[in-house]
Amino acid sequence: MQTLRMNSALLPELLEALKEWGRVWAPVERAPDVFSLEVIDDDVRRARPEALRTIVPFKKLLLKPRFTMLSGRTGEAPTDPLDNDAGAQVLFGVHACDVHALKILDLLYLTDYADPYYQRNREQLVVIGYGCWPDEHCFCESMDTSSVDDGFDLFLTPLEGRFLVAVGTSVGDDIVRANPNLFEAATRQDTRDYLRRLREREEAFSLEIDVTDLPYVLELKKDDPVWDELGKKCLCCGSCSMVCPTCSCFNVMDEVGPGGDSSRVRIWDACLYRDYAVVAGGHNFRADRADRVRQRYYHKQEAFVREFGMPSCVGCGRCIENCPTGINVVEVFQYVRGEL
């Protein structure tokens, strides 16, 4: 992997140059300390890549919360209106945990059967990573997702007055070659400062979770009273699923208009919603809140591990920050382990 340096003052110039590769998305401050992911082509200085979390993560760039898969009229063959096709996009300011989340979505949507709606946008996505600093909700260090070696095109780590820039792909290399005025070779001092930053960052994490043998522990704890307690506390509002970068439940519905127009739409869904597991005939496999809460945790930390060899939680802390009743994933697993 090639490693370069870039003066911090040149960041707006890099962002302008990235427009050549697609619409540029970045975290933007909407209100004090509230960040959303927006297109910044009109004013690249709005980018706030150091912001720890946008409320809704990047998954909305790949699969819109609601889109039409097929449309047509009665008696005619339906066609794909390309409603979900976003074209070329550049995602700027992706932190290491979200790069891992993107890799998890790739496993989900591109293994065995490739989801064409996801795949079309994914193939045109340029990923520019950005080194962050943890707060009290981050536990990516425990999930082994606090740093990345691949999955990005460029990755910028801020050092004093400059960035260390890792080039991860040929697209990243193209960006560098097209903008030789922005980059120069990294020095030994840059590497030393980068390694010191890594060490200091490791020590800055205050939240930890022990995931050793967690799938096995969960298998033993299926009937633990903690799930009933959580079922009483959880509103099943689905906020944690909507903000989670790896939650990917969806529903497909057919809608028929009075004039014979019909469409098949796909919308974000959540296994926490009451009707998610209702089947034909009306039976609900997870009618109890406790069952639905348990399902979310088990899917992330047990079923996904069995299928893909890793959990599907990257420790980003979004669900902790956004739960209206204060349910904290780390505390839940500490309790399950008997540590609380």
Q: What is the DSSP string of 120-178?
A: HHHTTEEEEEE-----TT--TTTTT-S--SSS-SEEEEEETTEEEEEE-SHHHHHHHHH
Q: Please, what's the b/e burial string for 98-131 (b: 16 or more CB within 10 A of its CB; e: otherwise)? A: bbbbbbbbbbbbeeeeebebbebbbeebbbbbbb
Contacts of 259 (CB under 8 A, 6+ apart): none
Q: Minimum Å distance from CB 142 to ligand SF4?
A: 10
> What is the C-alpha separation between 294 and 132, in angstroms, rounded?
31
Structure tokens at 250: 């969806």
Pick from 15, 186, 240, 332 the residue near ligand SF4 by CB under 6 A: 240
Between 105 and 144, how does the x/- string for binding to ligand SF4 read (CB under 6 A)? ----------------------------------------
Enter the tokens of residue 231: 């079922």
Q: How many residues in the shown chain lie near ligand SF4 by CB under 6 A?
A: 25
Site string (189-228) toward ligand SF4, x via CB under 6 A: ----------------------------------------
Residues 281-300 touching ligand SF4, rule: CB under 6 A, are: 300
> Considering beta carbons, is residue 17 or 107 the nearer one to ligand SF4?
107
Structure-token pair, residue 279 = 């089947």
Give the integer Cα–Cα distance in Å for 25 and 10. 18
- In the set 323, 332, 333, 336, which binds ligand SF4 (CB under 6 A)? 323
Q: Is 234 in the site for ligand SF4 (CB under 6 A)?
A: yes
Report the residue number, 237 or 277, with the smaller CB distance to ligand SF4: 237
The three state secondary structure string of 268-305 is ECCCCCCCCCECCCCCECCCCHHHHHHHHHHHHHHHHH
The helix (run of H) or strand (run of E) holding residue 228 is: helix 226-233
Instruction: Please select the residue that binds ligand SF4; options are 238, 248, 295, 305, rule is CB under 6 A.
Output: 238
Among the listed residues 166, 316, 332, 336, the single contact to ligand SF4 using CB under 6 A = 316
Taking CB under 6 A as the criterion, the residue among 246, 248, 263, 295 binding ligand SF4 is 246
Q: Which residue shows structure tokens 């004039």?
A: 259
Nearer to ligand SF4, 176 or 314 (CB): 314
User: Which residue, chain included where needed, has tokens 């150091």?
Assistant: 50
Of 9-17, 106-114, 219-227, 311-319: span binding ligand SF4 (CB under 6 A):
311-319
Q: Which is nearer to ligand SF4, 21 or 227 (CB)?
A: 227
Residues that bind ligand SF4 (CB under 6 A): 234-240, 243-246, 272, 300, 313-319, 323-325, 327, 329
